[in-house]
Amino acid sequence: MQNGGQESECGWCKDRWGISWQIVPRILSEALMGDDPAAARRAFDAMMTMRKLDVAKLEAAIRGA
């Protein structure tokens, strides 16, 4: 990352001052809080394999593709 920050797993990053942030796409939040526990599990499992979160891959996981 530029400006002294660093990226980490699951969409987490740390800025140049050492503060950690997680960048969470809306589709992931909706899946994790939705009514379908299987879709939530697939979304979570997909997220756990990523550093920078990939919305297209998250959507595919939610659909079960």
| Residue at 17 is within a domain | no
Q: Is residue 61 part of a domain?
A: yes
- Output the pLDDT for position 65: 87
Average pLDDT score over residue span 33-41: 97
Residue 47 forms part of a structural domain: yes
Residues 6+ apart with CB under 8 A from 50: 9, 10, 11, 57
Domain annotation covers residue 19: no
pLDDT at 45 over 90: yes
Give the domain extent around 47. 24-65
Number of domains forming the structure of the chain: 1
14 lies in a domain?
Answer: no
Average pLDDT taken over every residue of the chain = 92
Whether 38 is covered by a domain: the verdict is yes
Structure confidence at residue 1 (pLDDT):
52
**pLDDT of 4 higher than 80:** no
Assess if residue 15 is contained within a domain. Answer: no
How confident is the model over 34-60, as a mean pLDDT? 96
Q: Which ranges constitute the DSSP H helices of the chain?
A: 26-32, 37-47, 55-63
Above 80 in pLDDT, residue 35?
yes
Is 59 within a domain?
Answer: yes
